[in-house]
Amino acid sequence: MAAEAKRTLLVTGAGGQLGTDCVACLSDTWNVISVRRADGDITNATAIADLFTHHRPAVVVNCAAYTQVDACETDQAAAFQLNAEAPGILARESVRIGAHLIHLSTDYVFDGTREVPTPYVEDDATGPASVYGESKLQGEAAVQSATPDAAILRTSWVYGIHGHNFLKAVLARARQVPDAPLRVVNDQHGSPTWTVRLSEQIGAIAEAGLSGVLHATGEGHCTWYDLAQRFFELMDIPVQIEPCTTADFPRPAARPMNSILENARLNQAGLNRMQAWQDDLAAFVSAHRQHLLSAS
């Protein structure tokens, strides 16, 4: 008997941190269409309509976003166009062709004032403290107003081997200025999330056709300081790390002090594929230590 044809899954923002690993991780089970910005600008409704009509995906995973949190404060029009309006285009086009949309969102939709370590669950009141958070929250609303069938996947503190992230930044800093102590914020709490694990989670949501708001972050929580400590231990690089406060590092955009999300709905659905952040970090370093060293 002929093997069953793979269903088509289209990834937007396929050149980013998460998008690159999503394409790699899901290609075994799906016919993955990888759409980078140059092949499909998600703010261009005509381009997206043409793309969807041509490929007729069963699933669309939107990894494209304006993710430079501080730049969003000043580049507001572009942030809202990409994070708030474009998800509505993707949702309406998904409805038109009958595709299941999985749209990525963020912990920054919460204000983060809840006492640590009480986590936020999916139904908790939102209240973004930054333009980035507000633009992503409006993107969630744009998707929900187009269809109740989409999955809105809020994640946090994302890292992977592709693109830019906190781990690569602290590694580069430690290697470029090896004699100076590395000061890292120790009063923001959250859950580091590995792009490979999140991609597996996205695959499980796609298979199950899950809808609604879902939290998907690494299990457990830490501070940026804890994360840096554990990372350098695993990398076997001696670095003097000093804890500091958010106030010591003023930034244009406010960060939530408590970014801890509970994967409550995934647990209820029996579909939580996320793992302890410490285990995923160890797997990440084990897989990529040499590459990280040669690239930093």
Ligand X SMILES: NC(=O)c1ccc[n+]([C@@H]2O[C@H](COP(=O)([O-])OP(=O)(O)OC[C@H]3O[C@@H](n4cnc5c(N)ncnc54)[C@H](OP(=O)(O)O)[C@@H]3O)[C@@H](O)[C@H]2O)c1
Enumerate binding residues for ligand X (CB under 6 A).
12-13, 15-19, 37, 41-43, 63-65, 67, 82, 104, 106-107, 136, 155-158, 163
- Alpha-carbon distance of 166 to 151, in angstroms, equals 27
C-alpha torsion 269→259→184→253, nearest 10: 130
Task: Please state the closest distance from residue 70 (CB atom) to ligand X, in A.
Answer: 13
- Residue length of the chain: 296
Nearer to ligand X, 37 or 273 (CB): 37
Helix (H) or strand (E) run with residue 48 in it: helix 45-55
Nearer to ligand X, 15 or 119 (CB): 15
Q: Using an 8 Å Cβ cutoff, are 35 and 10 in contact?
A: yes
Nearer to ligand X, 216 or 239 (CB): 216
Q: Using an 8 Å Cβ cutoff, are 116 and 257 in contact?
A: yes
- Alpha-carbon distance of 254 to 132, in angstroms, equals 10
- Based on the residue annotation, tell me whether 132 is a catalytic residue of this protein: yes
Task: Please state the closest distance from residue 200 (CB atom) to ligand X, in A.
Answer: 15
Task: Please state the closest distance from residue 47 (CB atom) to ligand X, in A.
Answer: 9
Task: Please state the closest distance from residue 128 (CB atom) to ligand X, in A.
Answer: 12
Q: Is 153 helix (H, G, I), strand (E, B) or coil?
A: strand
In this structure, what DSSP letter does residue 247 have? Answer: G
Q: Is 258 helix (H, G, I), strand (E, B) or coil?
A: strand
Position of minimal CB gap to ligand X: 16
| Both structure tokens of 133 | 């958070």
Nearer to ligand X, 61 or 241 (CB): 61
The one catalytic residue among 66, 120, 132, 159: 132
* Active-site residue set: 132
